[in-house]
Amino acid sequence: MEVNANRNLTQQVAHTLGMGILQGKYSPGKALPSEAELSEMFNVSRSATREAVKTLAAKGLLSSRPRQGIRVLPDTQWNLFDTDVLGWILASRPSLELLRDFIQMRLAIEPEAAALAAGHSGSPEVALIGEALQRMADAEDGLDDPLESDIAFHGAILLASKNRFFVQLRPFSATALRASIRHTNKLKGVAMASVTEHTRVYDAIRKGRAKQARSLMRGLVEEALALIENRIASSA
């Protein structure tokens, strides 16, 4: 079992089993070892194992019922919005199709979030977009992290939208963007996203130009989607 000082025993077991499921070690529909066997495998108490199984059941990965034992559920039931589940998927070399699905979701949300943010152009949250943009500019000079500053920019737009549903998507979005941005930048042949293009989005938001902000953000996400779709087509 992978040991991490930041996780308790229950979290360690849940992480190891979750990664095993996402990596195909345990197939959907197949029975897992019993709680007693898992406890022995991981050298932990039955209570820690039981709580780990409950944790994974809540995330849609497992079912645990009397007489049926512990079984892996189909991936259609996995909670992809759970950051642990998403993180395990991304750590298992996500498919291009999954990245495409994520970017399609971004296309449905981020342009509208940018337009809503433009409606709050004088807010402190919009100022945070500018701070993230400055981090991206600093990253060009090696003074910040290119990936984390890009993620901060997109997260700040969700926050500045002041839509409570969009705001709560930030942890999920950040987790998925860590994989998505790496892939699209590699396909584009660049080390980091264009500060100039992101500046245009920020300027439109800062000036309260909702329609322009929506259009510019749509263009950014559509470019990323086209890169993934082209790679999928070329791999077919």
In a domain, 226, yes or no: yes
User: How far are the Cα atoms of 28, 30, 85, 231, 234 from residue 25, in angstroms, in the given order?
Assistant: 10, 10, 15, 28, 29
- Would you give per-residue pLDDT tens digits along the chain (236 residues)? 554 544 688 999 999 999 999 888 888 888 899 999 999 999 999 999 999 999 999 999 999 988 788 999 998 999 999 999 998 988 877 789 999 999 999 999 999 999 999 999 999 999 999 999 999 999 999 999 999 999 999 999 999 999 999 999 999 999 999 989 999 999 999 989 999 999 999 999 999 999 999 999 999 999 999 999 999 999 87
Give dist(CA 32, CA 13) in Å, integer.
Answer: 13
The domain spanning residue 99 has which CATH number?
Answer: 1.20.120.530
Tell whether 124 and 196 lie within a shared domain: yes
Model pLDDT, residue 5: 46
The domain spanning residue 46 has which CATH number?
Answer: 1.10.10.10
Model pLDDT, residue 4: 53
In a domain, 217, yes or no: yes
For residue 47, the enclosing domain spans 9-77
Residue 119: partners with Cβ closer than 8 Å, 6 or more residues away: 208, 210
Model pLDDT, residue 145: 96
Tell whether 62 and 121 lie within a shared domain: no
Tell whether 68 and 161 lie within a shared domain: no
Give dist(CA 231, CA 220) in Å, integer.
Answer: 17
Burial class for 191, CB neighbours closer than 10 Å (0-12, 13-18, 19+): exposed
Considering the entire predicted model, what is its pTM?
0.86
In a domain, 3, yes or no: no
